[in-house]
């Protein structure tokens, strides 16, 4: 850890409302001073970054990543996955529990967060909502929360039984953390490998209906309503990687009703449609799948009108040999940490007119708030020295051969991006320089 001086940059901090030139001094892992340009001219620091023409923003926060360690380090490790995060401007990531074995105990949680794992940025985790992510019995939420859990999820699998999901929401409400749900009625998706629609029909593949996602979202929202009415609790439901217009509409209505529901959208769901599968391209296979154009437009509408609370990558690395199979046999998932900001700025800022400050809010302050990461997702005196410096005007193309991830399963190789990360600073340490 060393002192860092950042000069001449455009500070964009949605929490404080600052969008103007500022100089910053980082010391002992915290933001020590934020001054008008020239206000720190006598300050001394080991490292100085001239951020003229650049945006200086809170470090990005991703509440949904798969780092594959323990058990599948041939795909990714905590060290390589967080290195990819740093290259993408992320300073905090939340790991999902579908490791081998499943992260469902205090021992496994502490093992993941041990410094020996070599995390490049700050690693948080959501342990499993149920033991083994089997959907039958909830884990010990109190013990896991005390050990650092920021929420609970069986991501990759839904908590399908209504009785178990209700118990999970009640238990999590009692300790003030969210239940993060992968919304998929697997009773409707067996043998399905992409979105149901004309593309699936042409390719001869079984498709997942929009109902499979929407029914779980609607069921869970009903549980929130019931628990508030009968238990006097206010549970927090977080809906992962929303991909359908029907689910988005249900979330929008629940928010208007005052229920505590938040949601995320992944860049691939507001950028691509199922047409990207082409001739069985497994790098465009994920769950939830790429949907129709109407659903993609609905994701953008949710992002623009405030229904969506954050952008999350669902970074899901797989080895080349796993993706080089028949489409139906290949695993779901793509990498996403190094392309998220570039896609968001290109599609939402340049394409849809979303202010840069709002893009940053969706990728920093709001995800940090969802999982209660105090002192992160904002830049003010005393907050953690988590920052990203990026060139907002830089147009570039992603080259997967240069990825920091172990895996290269992305549909965005060669895709145009906007906004190049110049530096990422995690708790005062420069962890990436572009």
Please say whether the beta carbons of 245 and 217 come within 8 A: no
* Cα(354)–Cα(152) distance, integer angstroms: 31
- Rounded to the nearest 5°, which phi and psi values hold at 94? -115, 115
Residue 2 has pLDDT above 90, yes or no: no
Instruction: Say which residue, 107 or 41, is predicted with more confidence.
Output: 107
* Cα(3)–Cα(413) distance, integer angstroms: 36
Side-chain half-sphere CA neighbours of 60 within 13 A = 35
**Range 311-337 average pLDDT:** 98
* pLDDT per position as a tens digit, 168-206: 999 999 999 999 999 999 999 999 999 999 999 999 999
* Cα(43)–Cα(63) distance, integer angstroms: 35
Residue 1 has pLDDT above 80, yes or no: no
Give the domains, in start order, of the chain with CATH numbers.
59-374 (3.20.20.140)
Residue 380: the pLDDT is 95
Strand partners, 430: 425
Residue 365 has pLDDT above 80, yes or no: yes
Burial class of residue 16, CB neighbours in 10 A (0-12, 13-18, 19+): middle
Helix axes 245-257, 293-305, angle to 10 degrees: 20
Q: What is the DSSP code (8-state) at residue 178?
A: P
Phi-psi region of 53 (alpha: psi -120 to 50; beta: other; left: phi over 0): left
Residue 353: the pLDDT is 98
Q: What is the mean pLDDT of the chain?
A: 97
The terminus-to-terminus CA distance of the chain in angstroms comes to 19
Q: What are the residue ranges of helices labelled H in 120-181?
A: 141-146, 162-175
* pLDDT per position as a tens digit, 370-384: 999 999 999 999 999
Q: What is the DSSP code (8-state) at residue 88?
A: T
Residue holding tokens 């178990």? Answer: 164
Catalytic residues: 314
Widest Cα–Cα separation across the chain: 68
In the chain, helix, strand, coil percent, each to 5? 35, 25, 45
Q: What percent of the chain has pLDDT over 90?
A: 99
Closest CA to 376 of 29, 5, 61: 61
Please say whether the beta carbons of 216 and 246 come within 8 A: no
CB atoms within 10 A of CB 277: 25
Structure tokens of 398? 């992603």
3-class DSSP state for residue 142?
helix
Q: What is the DSSP string of 96-107?
A: -S-SSS---SHH
Three-point CA angle 313, 110, 261, nearest 5° = 40
Q: How far from 425 is each of 30, 47, 428, CA to CA, in Å?
A: 11, 11, 6
Q: What percent of the chain has pLDDT over 70?
A: 100
**Range 145-164 average pLDDT:** 97
Burial class of residue 384, CB neighbours in 10 A (0-12, 13-18, 19+): buried
Closest CA to 185 of 168, 210, 203, 165: 210
Structure tokens of 3? 């002192």
């Amino acid at each position: 850890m060393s002192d860092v001086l950042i000069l001449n940059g455009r500070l964009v901090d949605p929490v404080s409302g600052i969008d103007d030139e500022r100089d910053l001094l980082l010391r002992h892992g915290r933001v020590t001073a934020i001054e008008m340009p020239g206000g720190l001219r006598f300050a001394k620091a080991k490292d100085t970054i001239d951020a003229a023409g650049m945006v200086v923003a809170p470090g990005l926060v991703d509440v949904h990543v798969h780092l594959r360690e323990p058990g599948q380090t041939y795909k990714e490790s905590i060290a390589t996955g967080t290195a990819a995060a740093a290259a993408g401007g992320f300073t905090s990531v939340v790991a999902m529990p579908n490791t081998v074995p499943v992260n469902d105990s205090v021992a496994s949680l502490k093992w993941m967060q041990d410094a020996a794992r070599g995390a490049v940025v700050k690693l948080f985790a959501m342990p499993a909502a149920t033991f083994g992510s089997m959907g039958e019995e909830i884990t010990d939420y109190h013990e896991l929360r005390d050990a650092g859990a920021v929420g609970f999820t069986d991501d990759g699998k839904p908590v399908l039984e209504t009785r178990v999901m209700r118990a999970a929401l009640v238990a999590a409400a009692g300790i003030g953390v969210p239940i993060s749900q992968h919304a998929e009625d697997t009773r409707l998706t067996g043998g399905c490998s992409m979105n149901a629609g004309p593309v699936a029909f042409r390719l001869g593949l079984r498709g997942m209906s929009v109902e499979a996602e929407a029914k779980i979202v609607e069921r869970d929202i009903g549980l929130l309503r019931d628990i508030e009415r009968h238990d006097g609790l206010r549970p927090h439901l977080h809906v992962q990687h929303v991909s359908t217009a029907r689910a988005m509409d249900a979330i929008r209505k629940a928010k208007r009703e005052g229920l505590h529901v938040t949601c995320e959208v992944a860049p691939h769901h507001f950028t691509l449609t199922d047409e990207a599968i082409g001739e069985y391209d497994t790098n465009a296979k994920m769950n939830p799948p790429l949907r129709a154009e109407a659903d993609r437009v609905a994701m953008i509408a949710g992002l623009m009108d405030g229904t969506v609370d954050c952008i999350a990558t669902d970074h899901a690395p797989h080895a080349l040999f796993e993706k080089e199979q028949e489409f139906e046999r290949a695993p779901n998932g793509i990498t996403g940490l190094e392309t998220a900001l570039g896609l968001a700025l290109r599609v939402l800022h340049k394409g849809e007119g979303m202010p840069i400050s709002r893009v940053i809010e969706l990728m920093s302050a709001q995800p940090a708030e969802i999982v209660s990461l105090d002192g992160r997702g904002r830049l003010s005196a005393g907050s953690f020295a988590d920052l990203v410096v990026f060139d907002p005007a830089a147009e570039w193309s992603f080259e997967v051969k240069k990825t920091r991830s172990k895996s290269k399963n992305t549909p965005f190789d060669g895709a145009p991006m906007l906004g190049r990360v110049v530096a990422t600073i995690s708790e005062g340490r420069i962890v990436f320089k572009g």
